[in-house]
Amino acid sequence: MTPGPLQPLEECLWRPETRFDRALVDRLFAPDLVEFGRSGRVYSRADLLAVPPQPFTARLPCRVSRRVPCRRTWSS
């Protein structure tokens, strides 16, 4: 499966050096952005931009096999 044009933008939000870069995220998020969390909670663009830097865990696609996700944990 070939990655689409949005995959690199999505993956940049998984890297600690860009995840909390307010200027970058402000440019990436559409004005009417709405995100739905796994819990069902709805997050507005303002909610997402207001998140302070904090440790996080992201599930990244493996380069070897896309069927087996990789788990990495970063802390700021």
Q: What is the pLDDT of residues 57-73, one digit of tens each?
A: 777 664 533 443 444 44
pTM over 0.85: no
Percent of the chain that is helix, strand, coil (3-state, to 5): 30, 20, 50
- Which residue ranges make up each domain of the chain? 7-74
The DSSP bridge partners found for residue 21 are none
More confident residue, 23 or 2: 23
